[in-house]
Structure 1
Amino acid sequence: MAQRDELSIFVRDALTAGKSRPEIAAALAHAGWRSAEVQDALNGWDEMPFSPPVPRPVATVSARDFFTYALTFCVLILGAFNLVVVLQALVDLVFATGDGDSDRPIRWGVAVLIVTAPLYLWLTLRERQKLARDPAHYRSAIRKWMIYIGLLLAALTLLGDAIATIYALLTGDLTLQFIVKALVVLVVAGGIFGFYVRDLREEAPA
């Protein structure tokens, strides 16, 4: 039996025996358990006075969730990257700085978007319907990990965009064309970041 399971069972038995949470925490600390481990074990049981103690819901992990959410975010990243490529190539065309093959990335990017955009929308709509039918899916650990990985990538992209813009300003290379291309990255990455931050705020309590 894993130590985490043993700790959870001990806390359950102690609560059943009428021990208070501070007493349990003190006993576990004296035995050498770290405070974070003790708090996690106590948080696994509801504070409502009831015997036996009522367990709180825990995060779920499944291979199906990994496939679904990993596919969704890979499609999102691929589509977002190519959307930026297409928009920046269009900016180059507007400012007449593109070469003879400037429409090649546009054609490729549009081809990627034709595939990824409807696939991402379908996967997202499917997820929303599943969450609406059973809010317990909000507790999926894979879902939360993928969302936070997406937020991390979006935040790093925004950080890199800001650094590149400041560097261009300091070196005298900050042109209107550069600003527009930087805004493209800001809008796309910022939109993804804002969408998933709002998604986390609106989700049912885990």
Structure 2
Amino acid sequence: MAVSKELSRFTRDALSAGKSRDEIATALTASGWSASEVSDALSAWADTPFAPPVPRPQSTVSARDFFIYALMFGVLLFGAIHLVLLLNHLIDRAFDDGGYRSSHGIRWAIAVLVVTAPTYLWLTARERGKLAADPALYRSAIRRWMTYLTLLGASGVLLGDLVSVIYAFLSGDFTLQFLAKALVVGAVSGLIFLYYLGDIRKGDAA
């Protein structure tokens, strides 16, 4: 939650005047501020015996972050979809009984991966280098939003994949070919989920 300038200024001035955090919280609550607003206002300043109050690091937002992370996660999504499609085509060929002939889907998926895979790896390596050199970049609000949206999408796909497997089993349509495709979807989305979950935890620890 964003803290208003007036609330932030009041909190800073009160801390500078030597008021305790409990006294400030009581005064703000009595004036109509919500508990979450009071908590956010106080947490924006470090609890150290130093005057004036020391501000805590805050999340940053920049157009550069939006461009880089939107591109990186967009390439990841596009590439992951076509990786699944490619593997599904190969599974269809493996279980082919003589009726599967089309190779257009395979060629298109490979073409997409030839472009998206090195692009994503380059962007990721570039950002990893910047994060290692300056951990403050972990506080990018755009980066956190994009990462959480990726986690949301991956978890949604995992749940949908599980539902599809259960439904196929209950309806009698459960085949080895279907299971192979479900495992592909689960593996790709699961790896993405685990990778970015670790990334979020690393950012929280930075």
Which amino acid is 2:35 matched to?
S
**How much does 1:203 deviate?**
2.4
Q: d(CA) in 1 for partners of 2:13 and 2:203? A: 32
Q: d(CA) in 2 for partners of 1:35 and 1:169? A: 49
Q: d(CA) in 2 for partners of 1:144 and 1:203? A: 9
**How much does 1:58 deviate?**
0.3
1:28-43 equivalence runs, <5 A? 28-43=28-43
**Greater Cα offset, 26-35 or 196-205:** 196-205
Q: Which residue of 2 aligns with 1:19?
A: 19
Show CA shifts across 1:130-187 (max 9, x none): 1111111011000000000000000000011001000000100010111110000010
Which amino acid is 2:163 matched to?
I
Q: Does 1:99 align with 2:100?
A: yes
Cα separation, partners in 2 of 1:202 and 1:23, compared to 1, 3 Å: same
TM-score, normalised relative to structure 2: 0.96
Q: Which residue of 1 aligns with 2:63?
A: 63
1:123-202 equivalence runs, <5 A? 123-202=123-202
Q: d(CA) in 1 for partners of 2:205 and 2:163? A: 36
Which amino acid is 1:168 matched to?
A
How many residue pairs are counted as aligned between the two chains? 204
Q: Is the 8 A contact 1:135 1:204 kept in 2?
A: no
% identity of equivalent residues = 59
Q: Which residue of 2 aligns with 1:118?
A: 118
Q: d(CA) in 1 for partners of 2:194 and 2:152? A: 12
**How much does 1:3 deviate?**
6.8
Q: d(CA) in 1 for partners of 2:162 and 2:104? A: 28
Structure 1 unaligned blocks of 5 or more = none
Show CA shifts across 1:91-145 (max 9, x none): 01000056322x1111100000000000000000000011111111011000000
Which amino acid is 2:74 matched to?
C
Cα separation, partners in 2 of 1:3 and 1:43, compared to 1, 3 Å: closer
Q: Give the match's secondary structure for 1:203.
A: helix
Which amino acid is 1:27 matched to?
A
Which amino acid is 1:5 matched to?
K
Q: d(CA) in 2 for partners of 1:54 and 1:3? A: 16
RMSD, aligned α-carbons: 1.3
**How much does 1:205 deviate?**
3.9
Structure 2 unaligned blocks of 5 or more = none
Q: d(CA) in 1 for partners of 2:118 and 2:4? A: 43
Which amino acid is 2:82 matched to?
N
Q: Is the 8 A contact 1:158 1:189 kept in 2?
A: yes
Which amino acid is 1:104 matched to?
H
Q: Is the 8 A contact 2:87 2:184 kept in 1?
A: yes
**How much does 1:9 deviate?**
0.7
Q: Is the 8 A contact 1:45 1:54 kept in 2?
A: yes
Return structure 1 stretches of 4+ with deviation > 2 angstroms.
97-100, 203-206
Q: d(CA) in 1 for partners of 2:49 and 2:96? A: 72
